[in-house]
């Protein structure tokens, strides 16, 4: 056992850091600062993706032949950490992190050749059609039906919690293609063009007043069967792969660490009668409580990656990092609200739009703090609620 | 000991509840996307119903009510998620006027009670942790009066107040309990600028900037350097009022969550059948009952002037910040995605609670004050 | 609404206080200090009961005709509070708090005339035969069977968690008298003499090394039918009454308040480099957290009693006070362990026996602290586990 | 980064595990009601198996192991609930000797490694919160040496130690980081009295009273007034060793609880079918994995001398006191009444964890130290 960082990773870190310092425009930096969700403002996120793509770094985790970087697990971690530290807006994951890997794993050669370059370049913006009003945590009970009609499917039904459907030009989705048998068995994985007739997108305004999610309605929407990924009725296999990825594919600890450092800097500027909030023992205890948990999570993520590098399947452990990461994220945003006191109540959604031009009536971070807190309430719900994840651990790990 | 409302108090509760149900519930307010800062018609009704007169002495034209009557009113307003500047104008502004001597009462309470006077208290300062004694904004004595310079953050109702009560230092340094004074200020005075803004809960406030604002000696409210005692007593009443509003709001969050759990189906059954969720809702119920107990304890102790009354107020605010917040978070979580939407009421109650928790010190500060009291 | 204490209750408090100051012998006081469980050492507890009985105060909650005091709810509360404040050992509840009220409610005149005076005087010591190895939280599934044989029942089976069965000369118990139908329907409530042939008592040593609980085995134990309370197969009615009583019959807040005051006194004696632990902000926060919860519970208990006085049935709220009271009790004993640090690890069970003569190798409270903490782990298990109580709230209060 | 054991480390783990299984598991120990303070045969085996030589340099007759090797050993001993004074004698006593200079090492390490020397560290004082710098016991310089007066509480292994290392003040006042010195003391010296006693976890300790104990200057271990640095480094190692033991014990508590939940039936099903319990066991699992991560983080950082190593040790001890304690309490709760008995192993693991949490500072103290580090 050792914590040694190979020399080449250290120099790689320098390289990434230099690049980011150079490549991030003021607009990109502003978007990073104003991002209060896992989903960054779409325009700046896509701009940033194009810049990374020029460098060949848009999809480090993809195989090299499809435009990946060929980096080691360690290098990918370094890259992700440096992005977080530099305050870059996160890239929109539906294409790069979800649809792309799915196509690489299960797509036909034609699908790969057509879609992967457009995902990489940002020409296509994807959304994910999984949840339905009656099928949230219980995804397998989805009802949106795709009737076979020659070389097409005809889709009727509705999807909900479809992030950025109002920005996307493509959707990957799960549909039911058979009504009998086990619920998981009759599901098929499809790709579609959002411009297809019969699709209606209705944005859903969130607690933070941002329409991040949508409901999407399908009224006799015709999709060519060539757009099917995997076999008919076998979409659950692809779906499960994606779910695992959605949960465990990211590291939470680096971002949490950065947020806690920022929080400490802010507390140093919150004056008390005798010094600053950063000196207050009770406040320090709250931060230390978070920091010790982040330290534990960080090493857990390292352990999982170490197992991955050794070719082991971490399996249900992605459920653990999803629970721990999201609940810590919620706690850290809550502590940030506490740190600002009443100043966190200032509500200026207009000032949170990058380039919106509305001047904040207080420090910029006072604006993002509340919006982040509100938005973070969702992270224990999406991607399979944390209740579902605990159930997975109980069953898959503990055998209950 | 007796925990029953008097007949009059029960009538007040019933009338507020009826009024809320007849078109002033949060659902209606929520759909009003114009988000007008103050609904004049609504405030007129507050006056007509006598609510603005509630906490004032009969000699001052009031109804002679006390903390218990305010509790009754605020709990129902909280249940209805009614957006109105009752706390800034009546509880804080009115509470300070009540304690400022007969001249101030005579001059302003009639207008306040009739609904013609909106007030705001300017307390919080940028980059200073909340605590009245932590005030830095200076009021320098000068010929015939004072000169005020500085900024105040999040002045509740500051965007629509006819007058502001500004806490300033006439002596001492931040941390000192002496040297704090209150000033009466109108927004039209030279050097006063107010930048209005919304707060997260759909209420409104303002950023106040004072640049060389010259005030006459008569603008001083109460004793020079002696603002802390009346301010603290007034803040106690505000914390009780907000506590009652919070308990009302939390009771709706619990009811809505239980109701949702009975109807929302996943995996073939109502989610309320899942034992893990049942236990969490039982915890929510217990948290609400404990907060209600603390609300009663603090309200009655303040009303009766018990020696440990302030301690109970600290306990209430601290536990609201811990257990009330957790209850509200659980309400969102158990609503799943729907809880995250602007459409359902749950998120709006959640935001009001978040705002209440952020006002006048958080849980740790109140736990520390409880330990010191 | 008001918090006014009637004058007569105030003067009653003085009267109780004077009496306790006079009546508690050094031996009783020592037993109070050394009690680390809800069950006090049996000898001193019974001695103390006899002293209270002489005064006519052994069973304030019983109706006057059976030896009760005729006190108001308020006076009973004052009495209970003063007992706690004086540090009196708690009386053993199985006779006075459990069997007695049951007999008063459901016993025959003969049963009442025979047993109640002996319960009051302490001539009889009772134990409670409810739980079985396979029937803990799921009490209704009990299996100990009583076969009818003329004017006797013949009992076979076993009971467990029978507190003080090794000290008791009588037991009230639930047995099955019918095997078909709903599990609750075939249960009968009996009284028996522990000297009856066929009874074997095996003490169970607890975490604190004290044999407080027992397992009791029944091998063809003959009990006269005259010892049945209520109708055959209708014992569940009596049992439920008792369970509610066991949960909600007591106030937790007064005892918790006293423990926290003692804890603060101890912390003032724990020196830090700059003062004492009682000045430490983190320690103070932990205490304030407990104290605010106790304040809330105290008013909850008052509200429930206020409802009782007004003739209302608090119903499932006894589940709430049971959960809150026991979990606070666990937390306060935990904080007491933390307050003493390593000194709490000193283990001298011999020095905890009243009159045992073994000198403690540190402050007396250092000995009781750990034993109390260990013993308190049980209070969320017994009397219907807190999981069962949460289920009751969900069903009976929330209608889930 | 690499989290795999070397082949040698894996062999060590396997051999300890085998030894535990072959008759030294907690179950066997638990039934031995004689509770002998030290099992001489067992200690001889520790020596023969090389475990007493583990952390010492090869030059000193040791095996040249480090914190990782100690982790491997202690985790298995924790899993087996083995009662032995490894931490007092080898980790604490041995750690201080290792840092005390060649003369002390040459004089005592051979005996220690051969199992002929039992040690104890006298640190805690009555009515003083734990912290080495909070030491009050005085060592007054006198002709040719020092005079020691005072008491020490809970001297682990003090009842059977051949020598005690006593932390005393040769200068300064409680709170000062300077002025702390360590003394080598044997129980037979005039003025030394030891009152042996059990500790809650079945280990043993002693109360130490020193009355006018005259020690020669040579009894001073290390630099006069300079005990704090080597002591802190040694305490870090002890916290790692206890942390590894705790993680081993917690893993048994989790396994036993899950196993019990699969077999114990209530309401017609195994209690492991109840969702509320499933979620709680999932939380127990996550707590264990997080503690294991912290154990690895702290151990490797100390082993490699990282600048933030001590911070990680504080994190480990703090979270053991929070999450490890909660895990152990849940293990009892989920075992129901059976968990409260002396008969099942769960209670004994619980008590060992309780003891570990009580040693060398609690969770809040370590969180505060973490924040300051």
Work out the average pLDDT over C345-349: 95
A104: in domain: no
The pLDDT value given to residue A307: 83
pLDDT band at C310 (very low <50, low <70, confident <90, very high): confident
The pLDDT value given to residue A136: 85
Rounded to the nearest integer, the mean pLDDT of chain B is: 95
Q: Please identify which residue in the block is written with the tokens 């948290």.
A: B287
Residue A132 and residue A229 in one domain: yes
Rounded to the nearest integer, the mean pLDDT of chain C is: 94
Looking at C246, C291, C358, C387, which residue is catalytic? C246
Which residues in chain A are contacts of C281 at CB distance < 8 A?
Answer: 281-282
Expressed in angstroms, the distance from the first to the final Cα of chain D is 24
Mutate to test the interface with B, among A130, A137, A138, A207 (most CBs of B within 10 A): A207
Rounded to 10 degrees, what is the CA torsion of C55, C56, C58, C59?
-160
Cβ contact D278–B274 (<8 Å)? no
Q: How far apart are CA C318 and CA C315, in angstroms?
A: 6
Rounded to the nearest integer, the mean pLDDT of chain D is: 95
Asked if A281 is an interface residue toward chain C (Cβ–Cβ < 8 A), one would say yes
Which residues in chain D are contacts of C343 at CB distance < 8 A?
Answer: 124, 126, 153-154
Q: How far apart are CA A74 and CA C394, in angstroms?
A: 49
Q: Could you tell me the two tokens for A231?
A: 């076999």
CB D189 within 8 A of CB D211: no
Domain boundaries defined on chain D: 7-87+94-117, 120-225, 229-372
Query: Which of A91, A115, A147 is a domain's end point?
Result: A91
Cβ contact A2–D1 (<8 Å)? yes
Which residues in chain C are contacts of D339 at CB distance < 8 A?
Answer: 377, 381
Say which range, A8-22, A119-133, C70-84, C328-342, has the weakest mean pLDDT.
C70-84
The pLDDT value given to residue C245: 58
Work out the average pLDDT over A272-276: 94
Q: How far apart are CA C335 and CA C73, in angstroms?
A: 32
Residue A226 and residue A256 in one domain: no
Q: How far apart are CA A62 and CA D83, in angstroms?
A: 52
Q: How does pLDDT run across B254-265, given as a tens digit for each residue? A: 999 999 999 999
DSSP codes, B239-276: HHHHHHHHHHHHHHHHHHHHHHHHH-EETTEEGGG-HH
Q: Could you tell me the two tokens for C193?
A: 């003499």
Q: How does pLDDT run across D276-318, given as a tens digit for each residue? A: 999 999 999 999 999 999 999 999 999 999 999 999 999 999 9
Say which range, A156-170, A228-242, C364-378, has the weakest mean pLDDT.
A228-242
A293: in domain: yes
Residue A392 and residue A259 in one domain: yes
The pLDDT value given to residue D28: 59
Which residues in chain A are contacts of D261 at CB distance < 8 A?
Answer: 400
Which residues in chain A are contacts of D299 at CB distance < 8 A?
Answer: 1
Residue C335 and residue C388 in one domain: yes
Query: Which of C216, C239, C262 is a domain's end point?
Result: C239
Nearest chain D alpha carbon to A317: D286
CB A308 within 8 A of CB A267: no
Q: Could you tell me the two tokens for C379?
A: 């209070």
The pLDDT value given to residue C246: 54
pLDDT band at D199 (very low <50, low <70, confident <90, very high): very high
Nearest to D279 among A299, A302, A394 (CB): A394
Cβ contact B136–A271 (<8 Å)? yes
Is the ipTM here above 0.90?
Answer: yes
The pLDDT value given to residue B36: 61
Cβ contact A398–D258 (<8 Å)? yes
Rounded to 10 degrees, what is the CA torsion of B68, B71, B72, B75?
-160
Work out the average pLDDT over A42-47: 97
The pLDDT value given to residue C16: 98
Q: How far apart are CA D79 and CA D250, in angstroms?
A: 8
Residue A214 and residue A320 in one domain: no
* Rg of chain B on CA atoms, in Å: 21
* Sign of torsion over alpha carbons A309, A310, A314, A317: negative
Q: pLDDT above 70 covers what percent of chain A?
A: 98
The pLDDT value given to residue C311: 77
Number of H helices, E strands in chain A: 13, 9
CB A48 within 8 A of CB A28: yes
Nearest to A281 among D4, D281, D368 (CB): D368
Cβ contact B2–C2 (<8 Å)? yes
pLDDT band at C248 (very low <50, low <70, confident <90, very high): very low
The residue among D200 and A240 whose pLDDT is bigger is D200
The pLDDT value given to residue B31: 53
Q: Is the pLDDT of residue A135 over 60?
A: yes
Distance between A237 CA and the closest CA of chain B, angstroms: 20
Q: Any idea how long chain A is? A: 400
A116: in domain: no
Residue C228 and residue C290 in one domain: no
Work out the average pLDDT over B108-135: 97
Q: How does pLDDT run across D78-90, given as a tens digit for each residue? A: 999 999 999 999 9
Q: pLDDT above 90 covers what percent of chain C?
A: 84
Q: How does pLDDT run across C104-154, given as a tens digit for each residue? A: 999 999 999 999 999 999 999 999 999 999 888 888 899 999 999 999 999
CB D296 within 8 A of CB A1: yes
CB B318 within 8 A of CB B297: no
Residue A311 and residue A373 in one domain: yes
A38: in domain: yes
C218: in domain: yes
Q: How does pLDDT run across C33-87, given as a tens digit for each residue? A: 999 999 999 999 999 999 999 999 999 989 999 999 999 888 998 999 999 999 9
Q: Could you tell me the two tokens for D159?
A: 């009842």
Q: Which has the closest alpha carbon to A1: C57, D67, C150, B76? A: D67
The pLDDT value given to residue C191: 98
Q: Could you tell me the two tokens for D372?
A: 């300051």
Residue A301 and residue A225 in one domain: no
The pLDDT value given to residue D37: 60
Q: How far apart are CA D30 and CA D25, in angstroms?
A: 9
Q: pLDDT above 70 covers what percent of chain C?
A: 98
pLDDT band at C309 (very low <50, low <70, confident <90, very high): confident
Nearest to D358 among C274, C344, C377 (CB): C344
The parent domain of residue A79 ranges over 7-91
pLDDT band at A138 (very low <50, low <70, confident <90, very high): confident
Asked if A197 is an interface residue toward chain C (Cβ–Cβ < 8 A), one would say no
CB D228 within 8 A of CB D173: no
Asked if C282 is an interface residue toward chain A (Cβ–Cβ < 8 A), one would say yes
Q: How far apart are CA A214 and CA A234, in angstroms?
A: 26
Q: How does pLDDT run across C201-247, given as a tens digit for each residue? A: 999 999 999 999 999 999 999 999 999 999 999 999 998 877 665 54
The SS3 assignment for A281 reads helix
Neighbours of chain C (3+ CB pairs under 8 A): A, B, D
Enter the CATH code of domain B229-372: 1.20.140.10
Per the annotation, the verdict on A30 as an active-site residue is no
Asked if B193 is an interface residue toward chain A (Cβ–Cβ < 8 A), one would say no
Q: Is the pLDDT of residue A315 over 80?
A: no
Q: How does pLDDT run across D145-165, given as a tens digit for each residue? A: 999 999 999 999 999 999 999
DSSP codes, A353-389: STT--PPPSS-HHHHHHHHHHHHHGGGGTSSS-HHHH
Distance between A287 CA and the closest CA of chain B, angstroms: 13
Provide φ and ψ at A182, rounded to 5°: -60, 145
Residue C159 and residue C267 in one domain: no
Q: Is the pLDDT of residue B336 over 60?
A: yes
The pLDDT value given to residue D35: 57
Q: How does pLDDT run across B24-45, given as a tens digit for each residue? A: 776 665 555 555 667 888 999 9
Nearest to C295 among B282, B294, B368 (CB): B294
Which residues in chain B are contacts of D275 at CB distance < 8 A?
Answer: 274-276
pLDDT band at D33 (very low <50, low <70, confident <90, very high): low
Query: Domains in chain C: how many in total?
Result: 3
CB D221 within 8 A of CB D96: yes
Distance between D285 CA and the closest CA of chain A, angstroms: 8
Q: How far apart are CA C13 and CA C79, in angstroms?
A: 7
A372: in domain: yes
The pLDDT value given to residue B28: 60
Cβ contact A341–B127 (<8 Å)? no
The pLDDT value given to residue B242: 98
Q: How far apart are CA A241 and CA A104, in angstroms?
A: 12
Q: Is the pLDDT of residue A252 over 50?
A: yes
Query: Which of A39, A68, A91 is a domain's end point?
Result: A91
CB C26 within 8 A of CB C95: no
Neighbours of chain D (3+ CB pairs under 8 A): A, B, C
Q: Could you tell me the two tokens for D103?
A: 């003369």
Asked if C274 is an interface residue toward chain A (Cβ–Cβ < 8 A), one would say no
Q: Which residues pair with A232 in a beta bridge?
A: none
Rounded to the nearest integer, the mean pLDDT of chain A is: 94
DSSP codes, A164-188: TTTT-SEEEEEEE--SSS-TTTTEE
pLDDT band at C181 (very low <50, low <70, confident <90, very high): confident
Work out the average pLDDT over D321-325: 98
Q: Which residues pair with D76 in a beta bridge?
A: none
Q: Which has the closest alpha carbon to D154: D92, D221, D224? A: D92
Cβ contact A293–D319 (<8 Å)? yes
What global pTM score does this model have? 0.97
Three state DSSP letters for chain C: CECCCCHHHHHHHHHHHHHHHHHCCHHHHHHHHHCCCCCCCHHHHHHHHHHHHHHCCCCCCCCHHHCCCCCCHHHHHHHHHHHHHHCCCCCCHHHHHHHHHHHHHHCCHHHHHHHHHHHHHCCCCEEEECCECCECCCHHHCCCEEEEECCEEEEEEEEECCCCCCCCCEEEEEEECCCCCCCCCCEEEEEEECCCCCEEEEEECECCCCCCEEEEEEEEEEEEHHHEECCCCEHHHHHHHHHHHHHHCCCCHHHHHHHHHHHHHHHHCCECCCCEHHHCHHHHHHHHHHHHHHHHHHHHHHHHHHHHHCCCCCCCHHHHHHHHHHHHHHHHHHHHHHHHHHHHHEECHHHHCCCCCCCCCCCHHHHHHHHHHHHHHHHHCCCCCHHHHHHHHHHHHCCC
Asked if D345 is an interface residue toward chain C (Cβ–Cβ < 8 A), one would say no
Fold for D7-87+94-117, please state it. Answer: Butyryl-Coa Dehydrogenase, subunit A; domain 1 (1.10.540)
The pLDDT value given to residue D38: 73
The pLDDT value given to residue C136: 85
pLDDT band at B332 (very low <50, low <70, confident <90, very high): very high
Work out the average pLDDT over D206-225: 97
pLDDT band at C353 (very low <50, low <70, confident <90, very high): very high
Asked if D326 is an interface residue toward chain A (Cβ–Cβ < 8 A), one would say no
Work out the average pLDDT over B85-112: 98
pLDDT band at B217 (very low <50, low <70, confident <90, very high): very high
Residue C164 to residues B225, C170, C204, Cα–Cα distance (Å):
66, 11, 10
* Sign of torsion over alpha carbons B284, B286, B289, B291: negative
Fold for B120-225, please state it. Answer: Butyryl-CoA Dehydrogenase, subunit A; domain 2 (2.40.110)
Identify the CATH number of the domain in which residue C308 sits. 1.20.140.10
Mutate to test the interface with C, among A275, A281, A289 (most CBs of C within 10 A): A281
CB C200 within 8 A of CB C216: yes
pLDDT band at C317 (very low <50, low <70, confident <90, very high): confident
Q: How does pLDDT run across B162-180, given as a tens digit for each residue? A: 999 999 999 999 999 999 9
pLDDT band at A248 (very low <50, low <70, confident <90, very high): very low
The residue among D39 and B120 whose pLDDT is bigger is B120
Neighbours of C17 (CB within 10 A): 14
Q: Any idea how long chain C is? A: 400
C315: in domain: yes
C29: in domain: yes
């Amino acid at each position: 056992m050792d914590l040694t960082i190979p020399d080449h990773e250290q120099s790689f870190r320098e390289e990434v850091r230099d690049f980011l310092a150079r490549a991030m425009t003021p607009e990109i930096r502003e978007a990073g600062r104003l991002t209060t969700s896992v989903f960054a403002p779409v325009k700046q996120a896509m701009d940033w993706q194009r810049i990374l793509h020029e460098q060949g770094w848009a999809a480090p985790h993809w195989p090299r032949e499809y435009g990946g970087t060929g980096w080691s697990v360690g290098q990918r971690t370094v890259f992700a950490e440096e992005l977080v530290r530099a305050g870059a807006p996160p890239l929109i994951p539906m294409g790069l992190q979800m649809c792309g890997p799915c196509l690489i794993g299960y797509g036909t050669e034609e699908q790969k050749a057509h879609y992967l370059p457009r995902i990489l370049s940002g020409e296509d913006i994807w959304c994910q059609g999984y949840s339905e009003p009656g099928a949230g945590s219980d995804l397998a009970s989805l009802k949106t039906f795709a009737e076979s009609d020659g070389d097409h499917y005809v889709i009727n039904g509705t999807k909900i919690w479809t992030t950025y459907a109002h920005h996307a030009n493509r959707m990957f989705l799960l549909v039911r293609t058979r009504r009998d048998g086990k619920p998981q068995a009759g599901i098929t994985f499809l790709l579609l063009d959002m411009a297809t007739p019969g699709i209606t997108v209705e944005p859903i305004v969130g607690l933070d007043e941002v329409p991040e999610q949508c409901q999407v309605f399908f009224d006799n929407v015709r999709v060519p069967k060539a757009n099917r990924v995997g076999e008919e009725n076998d979409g659950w296999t692809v779906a499960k792969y994606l779910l695992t990825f959605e949960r465990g594919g990211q590291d939470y600890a680096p971002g949490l660490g950065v947020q806690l450092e920022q929080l400490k800097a802010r507390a140093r500027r919150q004056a008390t009668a005798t010094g600053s909030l950063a000196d207050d023992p009770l406040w320090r205890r709250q931060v230390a409580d978070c920091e010790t948990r982040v330290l534990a999570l960080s090493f857990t993520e390292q352990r999982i990656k170490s197992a991955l590098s050794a070719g082991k399947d971490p399996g249900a452990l992605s459920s653990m990092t999803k629970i721990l990461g999201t609940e810590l994220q919620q706690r850290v945003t809550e502590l940030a609200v506490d740190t600002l006191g009443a100043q966190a109540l200032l509500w200026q959604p207009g000032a949170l739009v990058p380039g919106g031009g509305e001047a904040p009536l207080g420090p910029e971070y006072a604006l993002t703090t509340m919006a982040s807190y509100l938005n973070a309430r969702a992270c224990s719900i999406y991607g399979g609620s944390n209740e579902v994840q605990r159930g997975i651990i109980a069953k898959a790990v503990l055998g209950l | 000991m007796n925990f029953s409302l008097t007949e009059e108090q029960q009538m007040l509760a019933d009338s507020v509840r009826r009024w809320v149900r007849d078109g002033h519930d949060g659902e209606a307010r929520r759909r009003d996307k114009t988000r007008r800062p103050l609904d004049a018609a609504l405030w007129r009704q507050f006056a007509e119903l006598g609510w603005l007169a509630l906490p004032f002495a009969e000699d001052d034209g009031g109804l002679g009510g006390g903390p218990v009557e305010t509790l009754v009113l605020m709990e129902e307003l909280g249940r209805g998620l009614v957006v109105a500047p009752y706390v800034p104008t009546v509880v804080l502004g009115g509470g300070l006027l009540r304690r400022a001597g007969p001249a101030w009462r005579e001059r302003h309470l009639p207008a306040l009670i009739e609904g013609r006077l909106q007030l705001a208290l300017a307390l919080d300062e940028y980059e200073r942790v909340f605590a009245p004694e932590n005030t830095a904004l200076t009021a320098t004595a000068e010929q015939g009066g004072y000169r005020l310079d500085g900024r105040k953050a999040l002045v509740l109702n500051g965007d629509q107040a006819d007058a502001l009560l500004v806490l300033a230092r006439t002596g001492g340094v931040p941390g000192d309990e002496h040297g704090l004074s209150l000033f009466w200020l109108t927004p039209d005075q030279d050097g006063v600028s107010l930048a209005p803004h919304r707060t997260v809960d759909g209420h409104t406030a303002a950023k106040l900037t004072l640049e060389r604002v010259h005030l006459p000696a008569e603008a001083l409210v109460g004793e020079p350097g002696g603002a802390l005692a009346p301010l603290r007593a007034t803040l106690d009443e505000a914390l009780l009022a907000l506590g009652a509003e919070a308990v009302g709001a939390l009771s709706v969050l619990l009811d809505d969550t239980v109701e949702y759990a009975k109807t929302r189906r996943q995996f073939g059954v109502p989610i309320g059948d899942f034992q893990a969720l049942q236990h969490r809702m039982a915890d929510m119920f217990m948290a609400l009952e404990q907060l209600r107990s603390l609300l009663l304890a603090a309200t009655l102790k303040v009303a009766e002037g018990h020696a440990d009354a302030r301690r109970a107020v600290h306990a209430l605010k601290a536990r609201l910040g811990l257990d009330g917040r957790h209850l509200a978070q659980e309400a969102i979580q158990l609503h799943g995605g729907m809880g995250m939407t602007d459409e359902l009421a749950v998120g709006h109650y959640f935001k009001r609670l978040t705002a209440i928790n952020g006002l006048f010190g958080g849980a740790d500060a109140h736990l520390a004050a409880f330990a010191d009291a």
